[in-house]
Amino acid sequence: MHQINNPVLRGFNPDPSILRVGDDYYIATSTFEWFPGIQIHHSKDLVNWSLAGHVLTRKSQLDMTGMDNSEGVYAPTLSYSDGKFWVCYANVHSCKGGTWMATPSFVVTAESIEGPWSEPMSIGNYGFDPSLFHDDDGKKYMLNMVWDGRSNTNFFGGIVLQEFDAEEEKLIGSVHNIFPGTHLGCTEGPQMLKRNGYYYLITAEGGTERNHAVTVCRSKNLLGPYEVHPKNPILTSRFQEDAELSRAGHGFLVETQNGEWYLSHLCSRRIQNPEGYQFIPKYDNGFSILGRETALQKAHWLDDWPYVTSGKTPLITVKAPELTPSLWPVEQEKDDFDDSQLNINFQTLREPLDESWGSLTERPGFLRLKGRQYLYSRYQNSLIARRFQSHYALIETKMEFAPTSPYQMAGLCAYYARNGHYFLKMTKDDMGQNVLQVVGNINDQYQEYGEPLSIKDTDTVYMRLSLEKQWYQFSYSLDGERWSNLGAALNSTPLSDEGGPDIFRFTGSFAALFACDITGQNAPADFDYFIYRELD
């Protein structure tokens, strides 16, 4: 049987917004503090997906200067109207202290999914997760959740709707609160479709953890009142602790060319804490070290209500639609940094790659990173990173680096957040020798994992990072053939959504190359290649 194997977008790819245009399917996902913003994946058959590009590629579209972990781009929505694509997003910040947060929201457009995408148009500041609904009379409406920071609320103030004038590039008319949410609470992620005379409002509820869910309501009138689905929620992992896909929620529906229906939704594949580690996750019993991912479930309609065909609990294996299978070229494991542009799978923190700190042309065949601030900084990080998309993976690189002080360092990193990472660094010790050492920051605590290892005046080192579900292990080689582990195996679960003290933690783990120079001299590190190999 031709089947969909979930998750279809593995690793950190949350809050999917699915869209079909002709014979092509697209999914937009959140990127938070990672640049460029908003990943777009493409499929012809709903089974095989390929990363097509990113929407927000310029700082004028996405300024995240100084933003903290899990701030930035929340839950984009993708739509198509008037011969072009539309993407809505919020650039969320100031959400770490107090009860109010800043949620400036925007829409950008492009005639092609590959871009270029326009400069942003403002669509308010009500909350995160904005979307546009294009009605069949030609009018457009902004939908958004309301973030209400007053102490007498649960912060989720319902779903608002307001008309958007695309020619004037502004919201017009009155604001209407059309849906207060259900008893599940945390009502967010509104998207709307129209079918058989009904307006269907689909929202995420329950919070993006074990109680997450997909809620559907409908009305014959755009402004409501909205009637809640008789079997609400239509999808959830709530009370299904044995479900292989947990945290299921934030969904939307898509119809194939042949009239079949599917529901996209986020999920995660949790792992348990290793025996002997007394580390209790927030919210539920398990750790999402890869972050929230994207899955698809088959759906159908009954009495003008959508249902997930297999029931409320998400499945790993789903019957594929009656579409011709369409494969994508196999991605190469090794990037030799021979191109002048960074590979599409790499992202940077908060800002675009710039020749002032990262170059693929200064030394052809190498990625040069010029050291800037330490990895704990919220500002200038000389780092490029690729998502882990498997619980079993191997990363390898070859680095040339000539530090002159202990305040210059470069190497290979397992990165979740500025207060959740491990790294293998080359640096200079106080005796003037080059050394290797594994260090990190877990929940704002700097830690060293073993003593520095002297490699004398050697300035070339091969580095590896392996992930085996529960454990990260760093290793090194001086000749690329004989490898030795450095430091003990490190618990992977603190590098997860549930692994920190902060409730605002929503991303995923990355393998990263980095360079730091606290002296301000921007000492360069040259990386010859990057290998990402999945082992399962």
Q: Catalytic positions, please?
A: 15, 188
Estimate the share of the chain in helix, then strand, then coil, as percent rounded to the nearest 5: 0, 50, 50
Q: What is the DSSP letter of 215?
A: E
Closest CA relative to residue 202, chosen from 345, 47, 18: 18
Rg of the Cα atoms in the chain: 23
Amino acid symbol at 360: L
Q: What is the DSSP letter of 472?
A: E
Positive or negative, the CA dihedral 211, 214, 220, 223 is positive
**Residues β-bridged to residue 43:** 25
Contact 291, 507 (CB under 8 A): yes
Closest CA relative to residue 284, chosen from 306, 307, 268: 268
Rounded CA-CA distance 213/313 in Å is: 10
Contact 266, 292 (CB under 8 A): yes
Contact 202, 193 (CB under 8 A): yes
- What are the C-alpha distances in Å from 264 to residues 214, 235, 250? 10, 10, 8
Rounded CA-CA distance 66/130 in Å is: 23
- Token reading at 352: 């675009």
Closest CA relative to residue 53, chosen from 340, 345, 319, 256: 345
Provide the CB-side half-sphere exposure for 534 (13 A, CA). 12
- How is 231-256 classified by DSSP, letter by letter? T--SEE-TT-TT-SSEEEEEEEEEE-
- Token pair 């450095």 in the structure block, residue: 486
